[in-house]
Amino acid sequence: MNNNDLQQRGHRVYPNLALNIITRQEHSVSRQLISENALKVLYRLHGAGYEAYLVGGGVRDLMLGGTPKDFDVATNATPEQIRQLFRNCRLIGRRFRLAHIMFGRDIIEVATFRGHHQEQNTQLSVQSDQGMLLRDNVYGTKDEDAERRDFTINAMYYNIADYSIHDYAGGVEDLEDRLVRLIGDPKTRYREDPVRMLRAIRFAVKLDFDIEEDTAEPIERLAYLLSDIPAARLYEESLKMLQSGYGLETYHLMREYNVFEQLFPVISEHFTPDYSSNTEHILDLSLDSTDIRVEENKRINPAFMFAAILWYPMIERANKLVEETNINFYDAVMEASNQVLDRVVKRIAIPRRHTATIREIWQLQLRLPRRNGKRAFRLMELNKFRAGFDFLKMRGEVEGGEIKELALWWDTFQSAGRNMRQAMVNDLNQASTQKPRARRRKPANKKKSKTES
């Protein structure tokens, strides 16, 4: 079957890549910088007679002089053959079968070389009408695998046999030029897997690269394709985008390409041309705070970020419910929480454990103003008090006024001693009793009419 036949049948013609082999003497990647467990996997595969290469982001980061977070391996061994070699192996994945080699908490991912899916076989390869790959268990050669990779900077292979690097798509040159460039036709590659648009943005921000012009051009027009991605996968991608230490800059680039709106339509409804809404203000604050915590190696909880960025859309919905149904504000917030989270979870499958925490943080915003008697002491004992207080402080930066004063009061209360805390509560109690109560009007006596007298 020739290229014209493939085009007529709707199959993508993969580019012919030129292999450039960089010998050990010509590159700076040292085995001392590679995970010990990754080396074990590479050597065992090679010793069993299979091809074995370190691939993708691990090679890219090593070439840039960084420390890779993950080490992925590619081989011509099938998943079943890999499992026979490693007792600590677990096979995963439906869209593409992968082997995970488990070393305690350290997992080395091993993938069999992917081939071209020119003939539809529902057991191996399935594409949607829009060109998206739904199943992709087509195995091939290393050359074919390189053609199937998304970006040039991810199509470099470190060969454990002679420690050379095989560069198929000019990845080394794009590293030097600091460019994120797709392999092949961008429109076709995005339709195959729309998540590649998110990856292009994420790599550009993470590596401080530019997105190559042809790679960038279709993103805004094709961003709508992300609505077809499973919600569970979009949740994982959203964490990579917003909670990896460069979320604030990533969010702004996502908005530039009309991508953020596809993941969070509930939030984007509150966007303004000048980024001036409370929703946009708290987005900046929460993402910047997350970036700082990641940099300082502090624990982060996705629930806190989601609670922050969804708060004002939820409150606006609650206020509308009060107007439309005349229910009290507390009940309106409970109902609005359900409605907003239901909409979000359909697009991004936030796990139930996180949606429960989001609700707790939101409910605390209604309880923290109530500090009389023993309430303040009891609130501090709650499991999610700290998260609720941190969010209150963030709201204070956005709203100012009474919310900021309330956050300052709680800040002082937490750091004060027992006697000081009691004095602060006593002051509140006294202030509440001194407030003049609104006098109830007595119903006016109606004058008797002459007919009644």
Please, how many CA atoms are within 13 Å of residue 86, restricted to the half-sphere of its CB? 28
Task: Tell me which of 72, 145, 167, 291 is the catalytic residue.
Answer: 72
Pairwise CA distance, residues 115 & 434, whole Å: 79
Task: List strand residue ranges (DSSP E) for 86-207, in order.
Answer: 89-92, 98-103, 106-112, 125-127, 133-136, 156-159, 165-167, 179-180
Over the Cα atoms of the chain, what is R_g? 29
Note if 70 is an active site residue: yes
Helix axes 385-399, 278-295, angle to 10 degrees: 130
By 3-state DSSP, what share of the chain in percent is helix, strand and coil, each rounded to 5? Answer: 55, 10, 35
What phi-psi label fits residue 16: left (phi over 0), alpha (psi between -120 and 50 degrees) or beta? beta
Note if 288 is an active site residue: no
What phi-psi label fits residue 130: left (phi over 0), alpha (psi between -120 and 50 degrees) or beta? alpha
C-alpha dihedral, 56 to 59 to 63 to 66, nearest 10°:
100
Task: Tell me which of 136, 145, 150, 174 is the catalytic residue.
Answer: 150
Task: Give the Cα-Cα-Cα angle 398, 400, 403 (nearest 5 degrees).
Answer: 100
Structural contact between residues 86 and 109, judged by C-beta atoms closer than 8 angstroms:
no
Note if 411 is an active site residue: no
Contacts of 184 by beta carbon, 8 Å cutoff, 6+ apart = 12, 14, 15, 147
Pairwise CA distance, residues 372 & 379, whole Å: 11
Residues tagged active-site: 70, 72, 150
